[in-house]
Amino acid sequence: MPYETQQPIPTGGQFSCELRFPDPGLYWYHPHIREDYAQEMGLYGQIIVDPTRPDYWPPVNQDIALTLDDLLLQDGQIAAFHRSGPTHTMMGRFGTVLLINGQTDVSFDVTPGEVVRFYLTNTANTRVFNVAIMGATLKLIGGDSGRYEQEEFVESVLLSPSERAIVDVLFHHAGTAVLEHRTPDHTSTLATFHVAGGEASPSFIDAYRVLRTDPELEAERAGLAAHADRPPDKTLQFIGEMDMSGRDMSSIDMSGMDMSAMDMRSMDMGTTETGSKDMTDMDMSSMDMGRRHGNEAHDMHGPRCLPRRIRPVCIIRTWLVRALIRSRPRRPTTTSSGMTRCRR
């Protein structure tokens, strides 16, 4: 981490470090200076840490590491970046092209009955991927820091930016299977699998059908069970403030906001340009907030009465519980294209 663990690496320079991974699982590396630019250019990779115990993961015929990304193109070129800082900072830099391992057209050959382990990493800066495979069965077995407490058969796997998942996939029959990104409005093809040839050997279908549990995580859950219903040790209050002074509120599109159901009686609206406002008797349902559809400009009639400062308050409960920290040395074994494997 620049300025924390070491000084930034200068242009043309180099830096060597030794890493110790606390658990088997899937990790990744990427820059922390101008991430928006460097990651968009493909400066990232996966690190797979293998366990020392051979029975830690279920048996599979092969494994495939996949990065999920998108790229913003404008007029056939990568959209420009600002030299001074990131662009699209409010809603993120959503791409127009989806990428798998940096490519737009990816295919794999598998055999009927083969069980394949996928190491999935979402390297996009904003997009959430909902991954499914049409023509195969998915079993979610682990993620960022090793295996899950309970394996689970799933229809799809939802991955937010930087999130990882380890999924075992059974290709039942010969034909074509499709790796997809599914949204409520559209389904995109990410990769294809050509399932052909003789039956997979050895066969791990019986082992695949078993949903295993992690005894270590089960034990930790049991140790925390006594704390679930007891009174909290502390109650913390967080106050978030947003300074709206000097903001041109007329440029905010509120056409899709239903104000009729908003209870303004308990809101602390702070001080506005027209003085302190009592919102108790204000009927928000009659406010002209513009039409829901279209891109027309919306006029806010009357004096500006939007708040300069909004102070939402969130009350949370915290439990003081014992944390188990394990740190065992791992040693790197082999390196292949796009990923690094380490062994505990």
Euclidean distance between CA atoms 109 and 208, whole angstroms: 20
Residue 253 placed within a domain: no
Q: Is residue 188 part of a domain?
A: yes
Letter string b/e over residues 110-142, b meaning 16 or more CB atoms within 10 A of that residue's CB: bbbbbbbbbbbbbbbbebebebbbeebbbbbbb
Of residues 238 and 293, which shows the higher confidence score? 238
Mean pLDDT (whole number) for 203-217: 95
Higher pLDDT, 291 or 103: 103
**Contact in structure between 87 and 79 (CB atoms under 8 Å):** yes
The CA distance from 271 to 309, in Å, is: 7
pLDDT at 11 over 70: yes
Which residue range forms the structural domain that includes residue 169?
A: 25-223+325-343
Q: Which two tokens stand for residue 53?
A: 């115990």
Mean pLDDT, rounded, for 192-214: 95
For residue 8, tell me if it sits in a domain. Answer: no
| Residue 97, domain member (yes or no) | yes
**Whole-number Å distance between alpha carbons of 344 and 49:** 7
pLDDT bin (cut points 50, 70, 90) of residue 137 is very high
Instruction: Decide if pLDDT at 80 tops 90.
Output: no
Give me the number of domains the chain comprises.
1
Query: Is pLDDT at 320 greater than 50 in this prediction?
Result: no
pLDDT at residue 91 is higher than 90: no
Q: What is the spatial distance between Cα 151 and Cα 154, in angstroms, rounded to a whole number?
A: 10
**pLDDT for the residue 166:** 97
Position 75 in a domain: yes
Question: Mean pLDDT score of the chain, rounded to an integer?
Answer: 77
pLDDT digits (tens, 9 = 90+) for 154-188: 999 999 999 999 999 999 999 999 999 999 999 99
pLDDT at 261: 54
Does position 318 have pLDDT exceeding 60, yes or no?
no
Containing 339, the helix (H) or strand (E) segment is strand 339-343
Element (H, E) at 35: helix 35-40
> Does the residue 295 lie in any domain?
no
Question: Residue 140: which CATH number?
Answer: 2.60.40.420
pTM of the model: 0.69
Q: What pLDDT is attached to residue 339?
A: 59
**266 or 5: which leads in pLDDT:** 5
How far is it, in rounded angstroms, from Cα 48 to Cα 50? 6
User: Can you tell me the mean pLDDT for 272-284?
Assistant: 43
CA pair distance 247, 262, nearest whole angstrom: 23
| CA–CA gap between residue 51 and residue 53 (Å, rounded) | 5
Report d(CA 237, CA 232) in Å as an integer: 13
In a domain, 279, yes or no: no
* Lowest-pLDDT range of 73-77, 111-115, 291-295: 291-295
Percentage above 90 pLDDT, the chain? 40
- Per-residue pLDDT band for 340 (boundaries 50, 70, 90) equals low
Q: Look at residue 18 and tell me if it is in a domain.
A: no
